[in-house]
A and B are shown apart, each in its own frame.
Chain A
Amino acid sequence: MSFSHYLVDLAKIFVSSSIINNIILIQFLGLCSYIGLTDNMSSSIGMSFAVIFVTVSSSILTWVIDHWILIPSHLQPVLQITSFILVIGSFVGLVQIYLKKASPNLYKAMGIYLPLIATNCIILGVTFINSMNNYDFIQSIVEAIGISLGYTLAMIMLAGIRERLRNSDVPQFFKGKAIAFMVSGILALAFLGFQGMIK
């Protein structure tokens, strides 16, 4: 495969992972922080940065573990989940310690959702997608960046809409989380329009 083909392939992976197969709105993974943190903009942006850091760094390290240790020793089916979760959990711990020092207010606003990144299905999902599709090193980094930017896009869209909804006249039964679910359903319908963009 020539170099220009390879670049086109990377672009395809990026667009497909960030928009066409958007991790939240099309694949419905990692919805707990999506609904839980989008009631204000700053905490959803902070969460998005935490997810970008953890996703990219853990996909780099899990690729190395997968291709240098697990596949040569034929232990991939046994050890994959355990070793991947070990890596992800450690990175989440690093983010938590750093954020506690760097911005205590954001740390308080995120509350339980920050340690819950460790069990967020997005991160483990990315590492498994990389491993299932046999991506090489650069492809798996691009996939991780694409998926976490898609997450950021969905978070910021819903946070903006919910901040405006706070000042608008919502029927009493739909206030709070109910209207957030409806809005995200409509957003998901809109994202279905991207389907079939890449052949």
Chain B
Amino acid sequence: MKDIIISVATLGGFGALFGVLLGVFNERFKVEENPLSKAIYDALPHGECGACGFPGCFPCAEAIAENRAVLDACTVGGQETAKKVKEVLENFKKENNKQFSNF
């Protein structure tokens, strides 16, 4: 029983410590990201499987946003995800047109 308590305390303590550290670091070194790639990322299934040929879902979303990949690049999501991504792109286009029409 003592062993279990010590191991849980050790791993939990260090896990919490590093979690806080990484969170603070992430806030301090925040990078401005393309809002379009963030929106596409939210539409992807977040499996991080790499089946699309990119190292993860976020690089894949960036590639779609920059026109380096096709809409149905996510092979796992299939048609459903492609539809969602298409909707996101259309919404983004509409909003941007609104912004520009104000000028």
Chain A residues in contact with chain B, CB under 8 A? 65, 69-70, 73-75, 78-79, 82-83, 86-87, 90, 93-94, 97-98, 100-102, 104, 111-112, 115
Contact = CB atoms under 8 A, between A and B. Distances in A.
Contacts of A115: 55
Contacts of B31: 100-101, 104
Interface residues of B, number: 16
A79 B21 contact: no
A90 B18 contact: yes
A97 B25 contact: yes
Contacts of B7: 75, 78-79
A79 B14 CA distance: 13
B11 interface: yes
B55 A112 contact: yes
Interface string B13-29: 01100100110011001
Interface class of chain A by DSSP: helix
A87 B14 contact: yes
Given A101-B29, A111-B55, A94 B22 contact: yes
B95 interface: no
A17 to B, nearest CB: 27
A97 B14 contact: no
A70 to B, nearest CB: 8
A70 B6 CA distance: 9
B75 interface: no
